[in-house]
Each structure stands twice: as C-alpha cells, then as structure tokens.
Amino acid sequence: ALMKADALDVYGSEVDVWLSSDGVPVVNHDADVLLDGKKLRVQETPAAVLRKVKLANGEPLPTVEEYLTAFEKCGNTRLIIELKPHTHRKTEDELAEKVIHIVREKGLQNRVEYISFSINLVNQITKIDPQAQVYYLNGDLAPRVVKTLGAAGIDYHFNVLKKNPHWVKEAHDLGLKVNVWTVNTSDGIREMLDLKVDFITTDEPLLAGELINKQK
C-alpha cells in the first residue's frame, strides 16, 4: 500500500501504530490480531509473537523501524503516522517517545506527520518535538481548543464537518490545517472541496485527484 501511494504521488499514506507489551512500536490497523485462530491484543502481546502474524498480503506484521526503512525508498509521498490510544497513559507516552526517536534517527522529521484520537498523545508529540505536524482526530473539540494543544490542525470525520462547516474557516483563521476522513464518493469529495478543506483522506485517490484537478 505504501509503494502504491508513492507511485500515485499522493500527499500522504496513513499507517497505524501500537506499542507491543515489551515496548516495540509495531504497525497494525486493528487493536487485535489473529494468530493460529486466536485473537491477541497488540498492546498486550510481545513483539516476537506479533512478528509471527501474517498480513493479508503474506508479509509479517512489521515494526515501525522496518516500515520506516521501506518508506525511506519512497520519493513522493509523506507518511502520516496514527498513534493509537492505549489503555494506559504511560504506554502512550512511551509510544510517542519511541516513534519520534526512530523518525529522528532516520532523519525523516520533514516527511512524517502524526495524527491521533488521544489528546494525551497529541500533547506528548508536541512536547517531545515542538516542530512536529500533529492533527487531532476525535472530532469533539472546536478548532480554538485544538489550537491550545499545539496541534497543526484538525483531522475530522466528514460527518463532523458537515454538522460544523464553520469549523473549516475557524481553523484557517487560527492558522490550522483541515483534513477530512474518509471520503470515497464523488459527491462527498466535491462537498468537502467546496468547504475548502486542505486535505482529504480517501480510499479512492484516483477519483479524488481527478475531482481536485477539475476544481483548479
């Protein structure tokens, strides 16, 4: 998926990150994985066990370090890392610290952005790296409140922006960016473009690109 996104020259490719029970940041969308028919919670499972999980494409579940090594070969797209909310705040703090450390080690700070549903994680990321671009996902806070978190912008579900279209202008007036997710229909994409959002998360990048080009 990462390589396809890079080939399409889209702005960014999103990836979800958890911390294993022994403190290794790993990449997986869901909170649980299946191994030999048994459901395992990612944050309660050691990395060595998680590595035995095979993804739909046959690849092993990757660590963040491995994923970023693959990302280094991409020349076009940016990486949008979603740090998932964890049961314990201490675990979230450790996750933020370790992911940012890996990003810095690889010199990818200018090619990586962060998103999270967790206010604590947004705070931690901006505390560790004040230059990091962080977007808040949950959709429950007005832009003026998100601004106080040190975030770069809001990244809200399209239904949130449909109910609160004035938030787009409010965010822009505050110097914040606006992303909307996940918009997969022509009508939905056009509606969000009319609201002047900055970015659109979609499973249909070719369709979105076509509609964006028509509006230019």
pLDDT band at residue 4 using 50, 70 and 90 as cut-offs: confident
How high is the pLDDT of residue 93?
A: 99
For residue 163, pLDDT beyond 90: yes
For residue 8, pLDDT beyond 90: no
Distance separating alpha carbons of residues 13 and 25, to the nearest angstrom: 18
Which CATH fold topology does 1-117 show?
TIM Barrel (3.20.20)
The β-bridge relationship of strands 32-35 and 38-41 is antiparallel
Given the candidates 3.40.1160.10, 3.20.20.190, 3.20.20.70, 3.40.50.300, the CATH classification of the domain at 133-215 is 3.20.20.190
Note whether 1-117 and 133-215 share their fold: yes
Instruction: Tell me what percent of the residues of the chain surpass a pLDDT of 90.
Output: 91
Q: Supply the pTM of this predicted model.
A: 0.96
For residue 216, pLDDT beyond 80: no
Buried b (16+ CB within 10 A) or exposed e, 89-101: eebbbbbbbbbbe
Closest by CA position to 57, among listed 102, 27, 17, 79: 27
Q: Where are the domains of the chain?
A: 1-117, 133-215
Q: Name the one residue in this structure whose structure tokens are 């740090």.
A: 83
Average pLDDT over residues 72-90: 97
What are 46-75's pLDDT values in tens digits? 999 999 999 888 999 999 999 999 999 999
